[in-house]
């Protein structure tokens, strides 16, 4: 029995159906990652999820609309995630899968990136040398700057990931970073460096600056707020590459659920948690909307960061500085997400980043690499356009009729813009549906319909809450948004529980 396993046996108090070692609130990628690792270490785990399926932002669903000939066509749509990093050897997703013995359980399809920026089209290779070669050839006047910029990014990337592995996927504290001295020198400095300022120091061509900025839409609508540390992990798409799980995004959370259940963990869907139960100032369990209670000495909250220390916690004497920081937290962006069923497969790679006439959006074309998502000759296509926090906020003041009109207007504008990248798009639409901020608030229970937890470039809560026994995991915490970061925060939370 490993040390954490032994500790767990000692921790468990009492034994009944409603008593667990750890309860995880929310089956997003962070919550499931924490639960999977803990269950693997023989912790008795309960995951309570409000939605009818696990995965949070990483879910999929099936639609069977009828085409012009009244034939029902089956499409698999994703709630958003279609390009996953973190699968290279030292990266968190690969690490988690190998820890739970599932490294070969999914078929990972490589996602190719194209950029279409103000008339320039560029296909970027999924490897570092190729990236430098293609960029230097396309922007010869900036070649020296490109090489210098990529060199700096790569130094930080290698240190960050080596540091992550050296810390065994626990949070790297500032003092540990100081102690490791020169080894993580570049990574330590990167936290205080502005990514955009670095870009502008090395690059002159405005189109190339846009290309380097646009990938940041995976974490923010405001690249100016990003430090080099925030941005560097995204370059993993050109080091280890990005991937799509064959069959749809849902495959990864489903795999984690099977692993949790195989290790005797319990997953309750349609089980919204209404409150944490506290005893003597520390966490003792949860209360479900059904009125049922479940008990554990540790709770990992994958719920919205505001809710974790607000509605779920209730009145609690948080340290004033922590409370103040939570109050000042800015939410990240929300989005318009359009899922299309098409009767043609766009001649595009699986991911296209577009900027034209000031409009920025991403096209996900997984049917280019996965023929199971739509009938032969058809495609499931997604279009994602970020909305800043203030615009997302104003959406909640709309009446149902205004909400419908606003979705229609956005759809018209975005379909017209996408039609310039996919000629004839409108003629091939069999079905489409539009998600807006209220959709995200409904399905992932995030404040303001925020899709990335909290804005970048500000303090975000670390894994350990000031409430004894409460741990935080998810996009709103210090690790940030994206599946790779959510998995890492889940690993942090699992280790925090095991290290108690």
Ligand X SMILES: Cc1cc2nc3c(=O)[nH]c(=O)nc-3n(C[C@H](O)[C@H](O)[C@H](O)COP(=O)(O)OP(=O)(O)OC[C@H]3O[C@@H](n4cnc5c(N)ncnc54)[C@H](O)[C@@H]3O)c2cc1C
Which spans of this chain sit near ligand X (rule: CB under 6 A)? 25-31, 48-51, 56-58, 80-84, 272-273, 302-303, 335, 337, 384, 444-446, 451-453, 474-475, 481-484, 486
* CA–CA dist 418, 449 (Å, integer): 24
Measured from the CB atom, the residue of 188 and 460 that comes closer to ligand X is: 460
* CB 459 to ligand X: min, Å: 17
* CB 197 to ligand X: min, Å: 25
* CB 266 to ligand X: min, Å: 14
* CB 340 to ligand X: min, Å: 14
Measured from the CB atom, the residue of 139 and 161 that comes closer to ligand X is: 161
Measured from the CB atom, the residue of 215 and 342 that comes closer to ligand X is: 215
* CA–CA dist 431, 67 (Å, integer): 8
23 Cβ neighbours under 8 A, 6+ residues apart: 45, 46, 47, 48, 285, 286, 294, 296, 298, 299, 300
Block residue for tokens 């990972």: 108
Q: Which pair of tokens denotes residue 155?
A: 């130094």
Measured from the CB atom, the residue of 31 and 341 that comes closer to ligand X is: 31
Exposure string of 155-168, with b = 16+ CB inside 10 Å and e = fewer, is: bbbbbbbebbebbe
* CA–CA dist 403, 358 (Å, integer): 24
* CB 435 to ligand X: min, Å: 7
* CB 322 to ligand X: min, Å: 20
Q: What is the largest distance, in Å, between two alpha-carbon atoms of the chain?
A: 70
Interstrand relation of 334-342 and 429-435 (parallel, antiparallel or unpaired)? antiparallel
Measured from the CB atom, the residue of 346 and 482 that comes closer to ligand X is: 482
* CB 482 to ligand X: min, Å: 4
For residue 53, give Cα distances in angstroms to 17, 167, 270, 319, 450.
Answer: 23, 33, 8, 36, 20
* Three-state DSSP class for residue 159: helix
* CA–CA dist 51, 286 (Å, integer): 17
Block residue for tokens 């003597």: 280
Q: Tell me the β-bridge partners of 46.
A: 23, 266
Measured from the CB atom, the residue of 84 and 203 that comes closer to ligand X is: 84
Measured from the CB atom, the residue of 58 and 231 that comes closer to ligand X is: 58
* CB 297 to ligand X: min, Å: 19
The CA dihedral of 169, 489, 230, 133, to the nearest 10 degrees, is 60
* CB 60 to ligand X: min, Å: 12
Quickly count helices (H) and strands (E) in the chain: 17, 19
CB 348 within 8 A of CB 439: no
Measured from the CB atom, the residue of 131 and 335 that comes closer to ligand X is: 335
Measured from the CB atom, the residue of 30 and 329 that comes closer to ligand X is: 30
CB 233 within 8 A of CB 164: no
* CB 167 to ligand X: min, Å: 21
Measured from the CB atom, the residue of 28 and 341 that comes closer to ligand X is: 28
* CA–CA dist 354, 386 (Å, integer): 12
> Directed axis angle between helix 483-498 and helix 92-99, to 10°?
50
């Amino acid at each position: 029995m490993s040390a954490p396993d032994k500790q767990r046996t000692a921790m468990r108090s009492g034994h009944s159906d409603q008593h667990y070692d750890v309860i995880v609130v929310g089956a997003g990628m962070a919550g499931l990652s924490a639960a999977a690792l803990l269950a693997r270490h023989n912790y008795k785990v309960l995951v309570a999820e409000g939605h009818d399926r696990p995965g949070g932002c990483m879910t999929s669903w099936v639609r069977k609309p009828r085409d012009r000939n009244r034939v029902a066509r089956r499409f698999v749509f994703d709630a958003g995630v279609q390009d996953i990093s973190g699968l290279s050897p030292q990266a968190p997703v690969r690490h988690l899968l190998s820890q739970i013995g599932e490294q070969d359980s999914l078929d990972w399809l490589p996602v190719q990136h194209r950029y279409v920026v103000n008339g320039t089209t560029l296909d970027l290779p999924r490897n570092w040398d190729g990236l430098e070669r293609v960029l230097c050839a396309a922007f010869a006047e900036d070649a020296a700057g490109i090489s210098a910029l990529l060199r700096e990014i790569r130094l930080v990337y290698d240190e960050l990931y080596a540091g992550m592995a050296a810390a065994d996927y626990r949070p790297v504290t500032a003092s540990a970073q100081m102690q490791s001295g020169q080894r993580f020198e570049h990574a330590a400095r990167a936290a205080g460096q502005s990514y955009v300022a670095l870009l502008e120091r090395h690059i002159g061509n405005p189109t190339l600056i846009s290309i380097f900025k646009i990938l940041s839409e995976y974490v923010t609508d405001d690249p100016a707020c990003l430090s080099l540390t925030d941005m560097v992990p995204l370059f993993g798409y050109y080091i280890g590459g990005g991937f799509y799980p064959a069959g749809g995004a849902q495959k990864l959370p489903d795999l984690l659920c099977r692993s949790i259940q195989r290790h005797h963990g319990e997953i309750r869907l349609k089980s919204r948690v209404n409150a944490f139960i506290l005893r003597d100032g520390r966490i003792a369990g949860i209360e479900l909307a059904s009125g049922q209670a479940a008990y554990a000495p540790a709770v990992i909250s994958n719920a919205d960061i505001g809710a974790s220390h607000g509605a779920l916690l209730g009145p609690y004497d948080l340290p004033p500085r922590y409370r103040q920081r939570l109050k000042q937290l800015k939410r990240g962006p929300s989005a318009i997400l359009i899922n299309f069923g098409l009767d043609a497969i766009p001649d595009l790679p699986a991911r296209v980043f577009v900027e034209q006439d000031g409009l920025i959006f991403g096209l996900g074309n997984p049917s280019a690499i996965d023929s199971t998502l739509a009938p032969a000759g058809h495609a499931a296509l997604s279009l994602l356009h970020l909305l800043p926090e203030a615009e997302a906020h104003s959406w909640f003041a709309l009446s149902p009729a205004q909400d419908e009109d606003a979705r229609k207007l956005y759809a018209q504008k975005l379909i017209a813009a996408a039609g310039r990248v996919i000629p004839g798009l409108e003629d091939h639409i069999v079905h489409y549906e539009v998600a807006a901020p209220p959709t995200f608030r409904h399905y992932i229970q995030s404040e303001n319909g925020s899709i990335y937890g909290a804005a970048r470039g500000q303090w975000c809560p670390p894994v350990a809450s000031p409430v004894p026994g409460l741990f935080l995991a998810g996009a709103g915490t210090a690790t940030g948004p994206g599946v790779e970061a959510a998995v890492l925060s889940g690993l942090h939370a699992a280790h925090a529980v095991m290290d108690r």
